[in-house]
């Protein structure tokens, strides 16, 4: 699972995804996050990378694409986004509203004395 980019895939133990299958190079390919294009696979020279059975040097990846690196086959997939929990923020907002309302009531009572 790529959490940071660039993300290296290869045989190297330092790779983000280490694959020891036949035909996989030390740093077989990189996944980059390019503005306006999304996730892009860039194959390292002279390693052969296939996406949907087509040899590629650089390609924008889409959900479900099959990536072949030597004897290994991977499927590219983007996880659905997770919404951040907002309960604390909503609770603090309501407390602030209640505090302001109480302050307005106290000010109105003080001014009518």
pLDDT of 31 strictly over 90: yes
Tokens 């087509």 correspond to what residue? 54
Considering the domain boundaries, does residue 49 fall inside one? yes
The tokens of 18 are what?
Answer: 């280490």
pLDDT of 2 strictly over 80: no
Instruction: Write out pLDDT tens, residues 39-75.
Output: 999 999 999 999 999 999 999 999 999 999 999 999 9
pLDDT of residue 113: 80
Considering the domain boundaries, does residue 38 fall inside one? yes
Instruction: Write out pLDDT tens, residues 94-109.
Output: 999 999 999 999 999 9
Tokens 């306006």 correspond to what residue? 36
Instruction: Return the CATH number at 34.
Output: 2.60.200.20
Give the residue numbers spanning the domain of 33: 7-75
pLDDT above 90 as % of the chain: 81
For the chain, how many structural domains are there in total? 1
Could you tell me the pTM of the whole model? 0.69
User: Residue 50 in contact with residue 28, Cβ under 8 Å?
Assistant: no
| Rg from Cα positions in the chain | 26
């Amino acid at each position: 699972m790529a959490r940071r980019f660039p993300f290296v895939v290869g045989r190297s133990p330092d790779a983000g995804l280490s694959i020891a299958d036949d035909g996989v190079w030390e740093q077989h390919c990189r996944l980059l996050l390019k503005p306006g294009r999304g996730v892009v696979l860039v194959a390292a020279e002279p390693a052969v990378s296939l996406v949907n059975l087509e040899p590629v040097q650089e390609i924008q990846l889409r959900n479900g694409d099959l990536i072949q690196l030597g004897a290994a086959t991977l499927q590219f997939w983007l996880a659905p986004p997770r919404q951040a929990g907002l309960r604390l923020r909503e609770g603090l907002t309501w407390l602030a509203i209640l505090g302001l309302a109480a302050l307005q009531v106290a000010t109105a009572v003080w001014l009518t004395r």
